Amino acid sequence: MLPSFLQPALRQALSLDKAHAVLLSGPPGLGQWELAQALAQAWLCENNQAGEPACGQCAACHLVDQRSHPDQRWCVPAALRVAWGWEEGPSEGKAKPSQEIRIDEIRALASFTQSTTARGQGKVLGLHPAEAMNTVAANALLKTLEEPGGRLRFVLSCSAPHELLPTIRSRCQSVELTPPSESDALLWLTQSGVAVDEAPVLLRLAGGLPGLALRWHGAGMRRALVEALPGGLQKGELGPAEAWGLSTVIDVLGRLAHDQLRRTHGALPRYFPLDCLPVPSAPARLQRWAAELRAARAKGDHPLTPGLWMETLAAQAQRGLHVPAARALHSRP
Q: Report domain extents, the chain.
A: 4-176, 219-325
Count Cα neighbours of 332 within 13 Å in the Cβ-side half-sphere: 0
CATH superfamily of 4-176: P-loop containing nucleotide triphosphate hydrolases (3.40.50.300)
149-175 in b/e burial notation, b at 16+ Cβ within 10 A? eeebbbbbbbbebeebeeebbebbebb
- Which contacts (CB < 8 Å, 24+ apart) does range 291-294 have? 292/316, 292/320, 293/250, 293/253, 293/254, 293/257, 294/254
pLDDT tens per residue, range 19-47 = 899 999 999 889 999 999 999 999 999 99
pLDDT tens per residue, range 76-126 = 999 899 888 898 777 665 778 888 999 999 999 988 998 999 999 999 999
pTM of the predicted model, to two decimals?
0.84
% of residues, the chain, pLDDT over 90: 78
Inter-helix orientation angle 306-321/246-264, to 10°: 10
Task: Average the pLDDT over 219-223 and give the result.
Answer: 96
pLDDT tens per residue, range 119-155 = 999 999 999 999 999 999 999 999 889 888 778 999 9
Helix or strand holding residue 170 (H, E): helix 166-170
* DSSP symbols for 201-258: HHHHHTTT-HHHHHHHHHTT--HHHHHHHHHHHHTT--GGGGGG-HHHHHHHHHHHHH
**Which one of 3.90.1690, 1.10.540, 3.40.50, 1.20.272 gives the CATH number of domain 219-325?**
1.20.272
